[in-house]
Structure 1
Amino acid sequence: PTDFEIGRDHELPELVVIGLDGHMNDEAGELAGLTQEEAGKRVLAWCEERGQLERTEPYRHSIGRCQRCHTRVEPLIMLQWWCAMEELAAPAIASIREGRVRFTPERFARVCLDWLENVRPWCISRQIWWGHRIPVWYCPDGHITVAETTPDACAECGSTELRQDEDVLDTWFSSALYPFATLGWPERTPELEAFYPGDVLTTARDIIFLWVARMIFAGLELMGTEPFHDAVIHSYLQNPEGRRMSRTLGTGIDPDEVLEPYGADATRYGLLKMASSQDPRFSFGSIEEGRKLAIKLWNVSRLLLQNAEGAEPAERPQALEERWILARLEVGRAELEDCLNRFDFAAAVKLLYRVTFDEFCDWYAEAVKPRLYDGDADARATALAALERLLKLLHIVMPHVTEEIWSRFHEDRLIVAPWPEPDDRYAADAEALDRVQDLARIFRRSSVLVELGGEERRIFDAVVKPGRVKADGNAAAELERLRGEVGRAEKMLANERFVENAPEDVVEAEREKLERYRRELDALSR
């Protein structure tokens, strides 16, 4: 407390006037036996009786209160055990500076370093009921023995009448040992050898110095190496009204209210989509999007499995849409790994939505459907192989529905199936349907139908079904509109104030629109 620091600076005597029972003690003189609140009122009355009270006025200041009973908490000077921090902090600082422990987002490395570089001695003893006992023993003569295991006798006088300190270690001291204590340390167990150090820690920003920093220096001190290589600091999810979710404040959302109507996979998907370096608001829309994706995946899987019954998964692509989807799944794998390596979970689910909903379901499945209906053996085998790849990618986000679908044509578990290996055999066809997709968007928007031939026409007809709509759009007008959109987007992105000041997602959306307009203009101009 500030008044304690001021007293220390001025070398004032350190008086303890409140006892452990919460009442004023003998040091308080006439106030002895009163509670703090009673004593405060008595002091005010004395001042008023003596004409020394000039005025009373309300003002705001911080008062500590017990979380459970809301009783006012008073600072109390007591003898405590402390841990010197300089020697412990130095290796942790070096680990962060040299990149052996990386923070995501990077700015939180500075938060951790600021604390470590200005760290004070750490009070590690606590007077609570539960925790690791302080490893200190006393003999009747008051000698202190500190030991790793229960000693048989006093280290100074040899007395066997030892009493262990009743205090326990600070909870965060015990928590700092978590990465290795849970694996059998101090014994060199097989689990410790296999799982220490770990790879990634994910936690909240408000315990960076309470837990993250302390785990780092504890691991370095006791194990000789950092307990993890990456610390991913997640944001705080606010409720839909923009308030921080808190059990104490009653501002949270009951998980059952989400899990019951939407399911675990949709909830997992939605929460990952909300992941951000800022504090996002909870969005039922993101959860609903996850539910729709799960339903879409289930339906397309039923379609493929029912029409490929008896077939074995094998990549035997004969048609353009098969080479294209295998190429797109490989592109998706590489992009997904990049997202995961950057711990960009929102980008990962956005990518998986595109690969599943847009590419696999809306284009590949629709294009290959006629061949499946005709009993094409190569199409059936390749469909199952493509579905295998998709399920592996989606499993990290939607483990339950993907595992269930997998079980319909595999005896083993998806969770133990190997991750897809890099495969560039079909890389040349990764963009083979770009123009077809651009023309599909143009037709759906403006009814302008551009002539296509060969496999492109077959796929366009299977997916878009242009015969259901009258193709009477004005191609010249659509070209003019696209040129206008390209010009507008280029002008916006050339504006430095817009690029520098607008939200990053708004700028990125404008870049994506410009790219799409250019592709559509090129497709229509050929």
Structure 2
Amino acid sequence: MELAKSFEPGDIERRWYTIWENAGYFQPHMDSDKPSFCIQLPPPNVTGTLHMGHAFNQTIMDGLTRYYRMKGDNTAWIPGTDHAGIATQIVVERQLAEQGVSRHDLGREAFIDKVWEWKNVSGGTITQQMRRVGCSVDWSREYFTMDDTRAGIVTEVFVRLYEQGLIYRGKRLVNWDPKLGTAVSDLEVLSEEEDGSMWHIRYPVVGSDETVVVATTRPETLLGDVAVAINPTDERYQHLLGKMLELPLTGRQIPVIADDYVDAAFGTGFVKITPAHDFNDYQVGKRHNTSLINVMSLQATILDKAQVFGFDGSALGTIELPAAYAGLHTSDARKKMVADLEAQGLLVEVKPHKLMVPRGDRTGSVIEPMLTDQWFVAMTKVGEGDASGKSITEKAIDAVESGQVRFIPENWVNTYNQWMNNIQDWCISRQLWWGHQIPAWYDEDGKVYVGRSLEEAQAKAPGKTLRRDDDVLDTWFSSALVPFSTLGWPEDTPELRAFVPSQVLVTGYEIIFFWVARMIMMTTHFTGKVPFKDVYIHGMVRDHEGKKMSKSEGNVIDPVDLIDGIALQPLVEKRTTGLRRPEKAPQIAKATEKLFPEGIPPFGSDALRFTMASYATLGRSVNFDFKRAEGYRNFCNKLWNATRFVMMNVEGKDCGQDESLPLEYSFVDQWIIGRLQQAEADVTNALETYRFDLAAQTIYEFIWNEYCDWYVELAKVQLQNGNEAQQRATRRTIVRVLEVALRLTHPIMPFITEELWQTVAPLANANKTDSIMMAAWPVAVPEKINAEANARMEAFKDMVNAVRNLRGEMGIGPAVKAPLFIETADQTLADYVPYLKLLCRLTDGTLLAKLPEDDSPVAISGDARLMLKVEVDKAAETARLTKEIGKAEAELAKLTAKLEKPGYVDKAPAHLVERDKAQLAEFSDKLEKLKGQIEKLK
């Protein structure tokens, strides 16, 4: 197979991925005698597209998968997509809104049909993009979290947990998005600092002229106050404990209570307690057994009658609220109430205040703590009939404490334990239409019946008319089940036995609690096994300045654009089309033009993957730099060109396939063979310990620096001047080392290595399989490391560097050849001469007992003294050096004046000052060397 003159990744990538997938190489062999390796893909949103974070963690996952597959393990990388309840529903609702239609106009069933239509149209985008990155997932096992199989398992898990007493329905405070009309998880809430105000309000003490001043950032929730709290140790206000206060605007009276939650040094020392509208206040109210007064509708408007509840969820009645505020949105009610407080002389002052405002990540609306009826999983309760005597949470904590689950880096264990030890019951219901509808039905009296189907529920309620619960399950509920829901549970399948636990989960730190912990909980509870042995936590991919990638900032990079390349104008159009906030388009266009003035050049998948691998230092975030990707694209070209050179020199010739023929290995051959063993061991250890950065570094240094820059160059000498046995040994070495290097590189750069391996493998007697991805992983043989050859090679490198430095000092141009004299008693240095002539551009190299008496400069290399003998036109060289000295002196004067200018060093940006100082040192050094050369000429 003849290689093209240049590496063009596009055609190669598409061709080989199709071959791999069609050949079934991505599927596990299910040989129970071999170790199993499994990895679960964190399921991306079904309607989403690939981003740089995906490209980063998928490079790691695919690298591990390809490595263990080559080791011969029973390997499965299981792909799937998440139905992404809120995100997907919003997309479809926006599409309908453009047509002037709402989901309520359609009705639930017709709307769900619309979502399925959208899923079927756009759902394959991200999986096709994964193919472009080279992900070797087993597509035959691809799942969707709402397909029939997963839906059945979700229902089964819900029913079992309900029957064990671990799922219940209750009235609790949750994050509520008024615009979406649903509870949302903490992960879907963005808290950002905003400018606000702190209102200081007087609360009169009943039966006294005294008042207390309460500071609050949310005066509109005053209507739901049940108490005012002080710190128990605050001596200023002990006399008020147990007293009653008049709640402004309402006519109600509330008590003064003491609680450690209050910081006596903050504000006035008084804190209003509103348990139905603040999470911290909820806990205070629970400790003091107050009531909960809900003054807000689900649309964040003030009610005309407040609903009063106990902490057990019981309804305690209603309270009339001032009619002036009824129906007003909270923002409008705030303005009206503040005006009324001021009119009544109860507003003391208003101070500017920075505060963290929680907003929905999808809608931007303020998230309200809302008292609603929701479904919960009991996190600290032991299930009925559970022989372990442990709660779901305790089992998950034990899994990590026992070492069955290991976090990498280890410091994330602290985050995990902190969350687990402070866990609250999990709110699993969402007020959406798209999702797994909760398998619960109600009769006319509101009694609930949970079952796997309507028929099962009806059997529990004979003669009653049942209505299904409208709510759906939190997306994290179904995704928490994927370690076993994707492998045939509840049946005892071969896949379940082979792949639970899986070897590793690769994910980001932000979902340790939302996904990682819940998978551990669910899997240990339902299978008795941990879901995975290792949790590899990677950092976030940021832009080159360390900023978070954001569409609104215009710094988001599409990995496929990096692979294929894209011109500036199409890139601008792509980034500014279909924005949620069209007014941002000019800003995004400007940012795009600044970042990519010439568009994005094509890097190819392999260069992108190698860049990601090189960044994969444990736990650190990544600042993505195009220069680095450009460097690794050059690395691909280097590997391609080196292989072409090798093939041109060995193809059709004896490469040592016949083991019976004699082989004479030079010290250079022996050195590269030994270095290969060390590279094999280092890359293997790096992949085993998830140090992809070290694996990439080792591969890069071995292939570029040692194989290409040293060995391939030196092999030219051996192929030209060696006898038949020596040439055979060199040809054998050059192809076999290259073939192994390609296998070592394959997990990170799969496409180029496959293309080159197909050409190299037959000459290396390594084509025992049809694809490199099914070839054996290289195993180091330490016995092949030759210490003497290594020492000789290091001595030779030192001599090459010494001669090159001599050429530089003497100003000998690259086109000029010169003889080298070597003063040494070691006659084995004669072996170096043929190589030195090539690498150092020498006419000859002569070993002498003593160097000739001459003014030529001398270099030391080990015990040898080296001299280049060059006849120089002294007049011409003196003129050239004098000219160079003049230039250097002018630059020095210019930089010195700049740095000595008053105030420059103190006021100029630090990086500019450092640059100028570095240039000053550089020109000083250059001037010294130039003067030294002119002195030698004299």
TM category, shorter: 0.7 to 0.9
Shift of 1:90: 1.4
Deviations 1:209-267 (A, max 9, x none): 11111111211111221111111111122211221223454443343553322222112
1:82 and 2:376 aligned: yes
Q: Which residue of 1 aligns with 2:424?
A: 120
1:434 and 2:794 aligned: yes
1:386 and 2:748 aligned: no
Gaps of 5+ in 1: 480-526
Give the distance between the partners of 1:466 and 1:33, measured in 2 at CA.
90
Give the distance between the partners of 1:180 and 1:458, measured in 2 at CA.
65
2:329 to 35, 40, 43: 35
CA contact (8 A) 1:138 1:154 kept: no
3-state SS of 2:283 partner: helix
1:364 to 698, 705, 711: 711
3-state SS of 2:715 partner: helix
Q: Which residue of 2 aligns with 1:57?
A: 351
3-state SS of 1:57 partner: strand
Give the distance between the partners of 1:360 and 1:473, measured in 2 at CA.
32
CA contact (8 A) 1:196 1:227 kept: yes
Q: Which residue of 1 aligns with 2:294?
A: 16
Q: Which residue of 1 aligns with 2:139?
A: none
Give the distance between the partners of 2:437 and 2:844, measured in 1 at CA.
78
3-state SS of 1:225 partner: coil
Q: Which residue of 2 aligns with 1:453?
A: 828
Cα distance change on mapping 1:267 and 1:193 into 2, 3 Å: same
Read off the aligned partner of 1:167 and give its amino acid letter: D
1:396 to 747, 760, 763: 747
- TM (norm. structure 1) is 0.82
Q: Which residue of 1 aligns with 2:55?
A: none
Q: Which residue of 1 aligns with 2:839?
A: 464
Give the distance between the partners of 2:552 and 2:717, measured in 1 at CA.
58
3-state SS of 2:545 partner: coil
Shift of 1:150: 5.0
1:408 and 2:759 aligned: yes
Shift of 1:357: 0.8
Q: Which residue of 1 aligns with 2:361?
A: 67
Shift of 1:302: 0.4
Give the distance between the partners of 1:470 and 1:384, measured in 2 at CA.
30
Deviations 1:153-196 (A, max 9, x none): 44654346433322222222222112222233334444434433
3-state SS of 1:115 partner: helix
Q: Which residue of 1 aligns with 2:643?
A: 301
CA contact (8 A) 1:19 1:25 kept: yes
CA contact (8 A) 2:301 2:327 kept: yes
Give the distance between the partners of 2:681 and 2:784, measured in 1 at CA.
14
Deviations 1:97-133 (A, max 9, x none): 2221111111111211222222222112121232222
Shift of 1:389: 0.3
| Alpha-carbon RMSD | 2.9
Deviates more, 1:313-322 or 1:345-354: 313-322
Deviations 1:64-104 (A, max 9, x none): 22334422222210011111213112122222122211111
2:505 to 189, 192, 201: 201
Give the distance between the partners of 1:222 and 1:364, measured in 2 at CA.
57
Structure with bigger strand share is: 2
Give the distance between the partners of 1:415 and 1:240, measured in 2 at CA.
33
Give the distance between the partners of 1:470 and 1:369, measured in 2 at CA.
18
Deviates more, 1:365-374 or 1:301-310: 365-374
1:145 to 423, 428, 449: 449
CA contact (8 A) 1:363 1:463 kept: no
Gaps of 5+ in 2: 1-278, 306-320, 381-390, 566-600, 762-766, 808-819, 847-855, 864-938
Q: How does 1:266-281 map to 2 (within 5 A)?
A: 266-276=607-617, 277-281=619-623
Q: Which residue of 2 aligns with 1:186?
A: 490
1:287 to 625, 629, 632: 629
Cα distance change on mapping 1:469 and 1:386 into 2, 3 Å: same
1:420 to 770, 778, 793: 778
Read off the aligned partner of 1:475 and give its amino acid letter: A
Q: How does 1:210-229 map to 2 (within 5 A)?
A: 210-229=514-533
Structure with bigger helix share is: 1
1:344 and 2:698 aligned: no
State the structure with more CA Rg. 2
1:5 to 283, 289, 309: 283
3-state SS of 1:61 partner: strand
CA contact (8 A) 1:268 1:397 kept: yes
3-state SS of 1:343 partner: coil
3-state SS of 2:296 partner: coil
Read off the aligned partner of 1:406 and give its amino acid letter: W
Read off the aligned partner of 2:785 and give its amino acid letter: A
Give the distance between the partners of 2:654 and 2:392, measured in 1 at CA.
58
Shift of 1:148: 4.6
Shift of 1:456: 4.5
Give the distance between the partners of 2:650 and 2:860, measured in 1 at CA.
44
Deviations 1:435-490 (A, max 9, x none): 222333333334597657368515742662351799954336999xxxxxxxxxxx
Shift of 1:7: 2.9
- TM (norm. structure 2) is 0.48
Read off the aligned partner of 1:444 and give its amino acid letter: R
Cα distance change on mapping 1:382 and 1:440 into 2, 3 Å: same
- Give the % identical residues: 34
Structure number with higher relative contact order (C-alpha < 8 Å, ≥ 6 residues apart): 2
